[in-house]
Chain A
Amino acid sequence: QKEVEQDPGPLSVPEGAIVSLNCTYSNSAFQYFMWYRQYSRKGPELLMYTYSSGNKEDGRFTAQVDKSSKYISLFIRDSQPSDSATYLCAMSEGIKAAGNKLTFGGGTRVLVKP
């Protein structure tokens, strides 16, 4: 079993719909959670960073963390064709524990159709 599980997709939605992405993890030591967006042939771009259970909102993006269930989510409201990309979740035990080392999910490919 992988430490971080993420549905590879592809996830196809119409423009304007809400995109719902999630990851599950098995390592209870993970304390920091990130979502990255990666366009084809580009480096990952940090979208959201959270370190506590609950919701965090930034523009059209909402990140949700449930540490008790070991489950994190990313919601994208009012999706646009430009949101079409691969979304990667990533997690860390923290600098003191693991020196910034991130564990990634496999990524979910999202396609927003005009």
Chain B
Amino acid sequence: GAVVSQHPSRVICKSGTSVKIECRSLDFQATTMFWYRQFPKKSLMLMATSNEGSKATYEQGVEKDKFLINHASLTLSTLTVTSAHPEDSSFYICSAAPSYLYQETQYFGPGTRLLVL
């Protein structure tokens, strides 16, 4: 149980294009999903918190117009990197927090490797 999937697993795009990454909780409902960015040999950096049916909350320094987040259902959140540039190349990981309140933790997806040329 508690499986989170991400699609695509890796993507290469040209500078200036937009890329959408999907995060799905496969066997549980998630009121809250999170988007992280991870640089090589570094820990996870939280980008934003996504709540179903409401606007995402972005961490300080993260451009909300560049990283669009939509959490349309209890099992799906999407991250769209708009007008991507080479410095956006990174490993993006989502996580989902189960809606049942007795467990306060997150389950992570396998990550999406983005390379912007």
Contacts and interface: CB of A to CB of B under 8 A. Distances in A.
Interface residues of A, number: 23
A13 to B, nearest CB: 20
Interface string B17-41: 0000000000000001010000000
B113 A95 contact: no
Interface residues of B, number: 25
Contacts, number: 59
A100 B111 contact: no
Contacts of B34: 100-102
Contacts of B49: 99-101
State the majority secondary structure of interface residues on B.
strand
Interface in B73-116: 91, 93, 95, 97, 101, 103-111, 113
B43 interface: yes
B44 A104 contact: yes
A106 B43 contact: yes
B106 A41 contact: no
Interface of A: 32, 34, 36, 41-46, 49, 51, 88, 92, 94-95, 99-102, 104-107
